[in-house]
Structure 1
Amino acid sequence: MPGLPSEPSAERPAAPRRPRASSTCPCGSGRGFGACCGPYLDAERTAPTAEALMRSRYTAFALDDTAHLLATWHPTTRPARLDLDADVRWTGLEVLATEAGTADDVRGVVEFRAHHVHAGRADVLHERSRFRRQDGRWFYVRGRTPAP
Structure 2
Amino acid sequence: MSETGRVSLQRSCPCGTGLAYDACCGPLHRGARAAATPEELMRSRYSAYALGESGYVFRTWHPRTRPDDVTPDPSTRWTRLEVLDATGDEVEFVAHFETSAGPGRLHERSRFDKRAGRWVYVDGG
Tell me the TM-score range normalised by the shorter chain.
over 0.9
Amino acid in structure 2 at the alignment position of 1:94: E
Give TM-score, length-normalised by structure 1: 0.81
Q: Distance in 2 between matches of 1:63 and 1:42?
A: 13
Looking at structure 1, the residues matched to 26 and 71 of structure 2 have their Cα atoms a distance apart, in angstroms, of 21
Deviation at 1:118, TM superposition (A): 1.4
- CA separation in 2, counterparts of 1:120 and 1:43? 35
Root-mean-square deviation (CA, aligned residues, Å) is: 0.9
Q: 5 Å matches for 1:91-102?
A: 91-100=79-88
Q: Give the counterpart letter for 2:108 in structure 1.
A: E
Q: Secondary structure at the match of 2:84?
A: strand
2:82 is aligned with what amino acid? E
Q: 1 CA distance for matches of 2:3 and 2:32?
A: 17
TM-score of the aligned structures, taking structure 2 as reference length = 0.95
Corresponding pairs, count: 123
The CA deviation at 1:120 is 4.5
Q: Give CA deviations for 1:72-122 in whole Å, capped at 9, x if unaligned.
A: 00011011222321110000000000111xxxxxxx000000000011401
Structure 2, unpaired ranges of 5+? none
Going by fraction, where is helix more abundant, 1 or 2? 2
Shift of 1:30: 0.3
Larger Rg: 1
1:3-39 deviation line (CA, Å, top 9, x unaligned): xxxxxxxxxxxx2111322110000000000000000
Out of 39, 56, 77, the residue aligned to residue 65 of structure 2 is 77
Runs of 4 or more above 6 Å deviation: none
